[in-house]
Structure 1
Amino acid sequence: MRTGSEPTTARSPLRLRFWLTVWGLIWAAAGTAAFTLAGRPGWAAACGALMLIVTADLAMVLRHIHQGPHYQPGPDIPPYEPDHGGRRPRPGQ
């Protein structure tokens, strides 16, 4: 259940995701190079496409890291109803 305090209490493994993305980028680049040298253009294109997806993900992760812990959702995100201990509030309360 969401409490409405997520921006101040939530933690995200962005640094882990950053390093996993870097690892994936290295493997996708190596795969593209290896399949190109081996004369497998289909596999090289697949690795190249994967490399583009991983690069876009890396850019998004870096953007979120640079926003820092003070990120707040935009005005289009409504506030959350506070947690009432697992009970729904009665009408009129």
Structure 2
Amino acid sequence: MRTGSEPTTARSPLRMRFWLSLWGLLWAAGSTAAFSLAGRPGWAAACGVLLLIVVVDLIVVVRHIRQGPHYQPGRDVPPYEPVHEDHEPGPRRTARPDD
């Protein structure tokens, strides 16, 4: 729902998320390899799971970046007034019991 208070120069956090995912990918891959070589299979498995999560996030981020911008209403579109529930309700229909 638009409220009219959206910033006019809002930017998507996808590029920042992309670079943070790359940073996490490097750390997770390096730590998985280091723990494997050090003989710590539990820590290596935990870092391997983290590596898989980072790879999936990176795939999602790249997919969203490639999709391009989505439609956002411009300045000429007026904000929508939120629906308030404090108005008088209309006549209610009630079910009549069979006589």
Q: Same fold (TM over 0.5)?
A: yes
Q: In structure 2, what residue type is equivalent to 1:59?
A: I
Q: What 5-or-longer segments of structure 1 have no aligned partner?
A: 73-81
Which protein has greater RCO, CA pairs closer than 8 Å, 6+ apart? 1
Q: For residue 52 of structure 1, what is the aligned residue in structure 2?
A: 52
Q: What 5-or-longer segments of structure 2 have no aligned partner?
A: 73-78, 89-99
**Is residue 83 of structure 2 the alignment partner of residue 83 of structure 1?**
no
Computing the radius of gyration over CA atoms, which structure comes out larger, 1 or 2? 2
SS in 2 for 1:70: coil
Q: Structure 1 residues 48 and 54 mapped into 2: Cα distance closer, same or farther (>3 Å)?
A: same
Deviation for aligned residue 1:18: 0.1
Deviation for aligned residue 1:63: 0.4
Give structure 1 regions of 4+ aligned residues with deviation exceeding 3 angstroms: 86-91
Distance 1:4 1:63 in 2: 29
**Is residue 37 of structure 2 the alignment partner of residue 34 of structure 1?**
no
Q: For residue 23 of structure 1, what is the aligned residue in structure 2?
A: 23
Higher share in helix:
1
Deviation for aligned residue 1:21: 0.3
Deviation for aligned residue 1:3: 1.2
Q: Structure 1 residues 40 and 26 mapped into 2: Cα distance closer, same or farther (>3 Å)?
A: same
Q: For residue 91 of structure 2, what is the aligned residue in structure 1?
A: none
Aligned pairs (5 A) from 1:4-19: 11-19=11-19
Instruction: Output the TM-score relative to the length of structure 2.
Output: 0.65
Deviation per residue, 1:30-78 (Å, 9 max, x gap): 0000000100000000000100000000000000000011368xxxxxx
Q: Structure 1 residues 71 and 54 mapped into 2: Cα distance closer, same or farther (>3 Å)?
A: farther
Q: Structure 1 residues 64 and 47 mapped into 2: Cα distance closer, same or farther (>3 Å)?
A: same
Give RMSD over aligned pairs.
3.0
- Percent sequence identity is 65
